[in-house]
Amino acid sequence: MRPNGVRAASVRRVVNASRGRFSVAACTRAALDGRGFQQKLCVFGPVFVYHTAMDPRIERILPWTKKPHMDGYIHPAFDRVAQLLREQLSATPGGAAVCIYHRGECVVDLWGGARDAEGRAWQADTMSPSFSTTKGIASTLLHIMVDRELLDYDAPVSRYWPEFAQAGKERVTVRHVLAHQSGLYHIRQMVDRAQRMVDWDYMIQAIEQTEPVHPPGERTGYHGLTYGYLVGEILQRVTGKPFRQLVQEELVDPLELDGMYIGAPSEELYRAADLIWPSPSRLQPYLPRGFTRGLLGFSAPALNQGARLFGLELDVQSILDSLAPRGISSFDFGANATLRASIPAANGLFTARSLARVYAALAGGGELDGVQLLSRKTLRRAMRRQRRGSKLAVIPFDMRWRLGYHGVFTTQGSPRNAFGHFGFGGSGAWADPSRNLSVAMVVNAGLGTPFGDLRIARISAAALSAVDARPTTSRSGVPKPKRSSSSAKGRRAGEKSRGRTPRPRNIPAAKPA
């Protein structure tokens, strides 16, 4: 018997797969040997691979023994995704989860690393704050209401939200909002401090009283923090329901999602990963600490002129207005009070599995596992690239905006038909209907840009390569409906892909720490 204080919690992973059809059943067999070891059989590749992950307590004492904890399952065609995720977990602090759906089936479901600075392992049901990835979910809800004819993209917002018409906003349409062309990105001029963002009523009133910085449609300016209130209030007006209730009723319940909150209940917060910043000080979500003060120490015209030397048409003041309300450097996006609030542009708490299922429905023509989120007609309208304004603000390059989604970038280029939304710190999710593919990643450590970083770009590239190497079913537009399989293997795969937290048999469910 080992002393309790030094009980080895090594995990011996047996990884085995064939080149045949993906079998989820192979990922369910596990046994405990009663001495602190777990033996798991999971599908990763054509050979057996043994991996040992040490207990975090031992790693802190003997750091050279550290190897990245990683769990889950994967189709053998996507083994490059597993390799990349393991490399990323080895190179960066914190943890991550990746989930990929192809042709309506879950082919990748991996998680690993640490969920907090203490080194506690990321679990199958761990959720992570995902910043602007939240915007894609809010946008999807709005498209659902358009599909039900409760909203019209080209109708003025004031038709549904009468108080919005004041201060020169009567011509702003729903399309302007979704395409980031309403001229209402300047949150820094709307509120006196960032903490106001947790007060929905205050933010709505502030938006109602604000004059746009430009006529609607004139510019494309990223609404980094105000987007969610605009979309969310429109939805609340046409449905009469709170935004968080719409997330639950329209997405979580029908798709059987295991972790998707924009305004999380207190009893679910134990599943939230802690945000781990690269320095002890708390950093603001889009700009490094002190960056705002540094920029304000110079004149905006001087900084704009300097950017032109590098070929960028930079509007510094618009960046500050959109992304840096006063006090943002001390605003904690990972605090329980923040996660309990609804900030539909920036505080979604997600599992990668839930994000992937939502986007899998979009990739599959609006339907997944018999649940129809959108009609094909509305989906085509939603994914159509929008005409950009004559000038760019906030983001100095073309994001190829759709209606609430942007184009997708990978390290192997930008797939033409793909759309989604990435977030600060590295999270993101997207769909490609021409490939019937969805990819989602959540992380709890990193900075990057307001639209993710190279981690998700590399994962996405690996997913594209794997999909393009498989036999194809549709290569243009929204794919035709997939015929359901009646085989036992098909039924089992369907059961595993329905959003329930996958875990090997005989392994207890995750519990609060």
Query: Which residues are catalytic, by number?
Result: 132
Tens digit of pLDDT for each residue in 424-465?
A: 989 999 999 999 999 999 999 986 666 678 999 999 999 999
* DSSP strand pairing (128-129 vs 70-74): unpaired
Domains and CATH numbers, the chain: 133-347+368-393 (3.40.710.10)
Of the candidate ranges 1-15, 277-291, 366-380, 433-447, the one whose mean pLDDT is the lowest:
1-15
Residues 6+ apart with CB under 8 A from 355: 99, 130, 133, 137, 260, 429, 440, 442
Tens digit of pLDDT for each residue in 24-46?
A: 333 333 222 222 223 333 322 22
Summary mean pLDDT of the chain: 79
Main-chain dihedrals φ then ψ at residue 41, nearest 5 degrees:
-110, 115
Measured CA to CA, the distance from residue 443 to residue 448 in angstroms comes to 12
Tens digit of pLDDT for each residue in 196-210?
A: 999 999 999 999 999
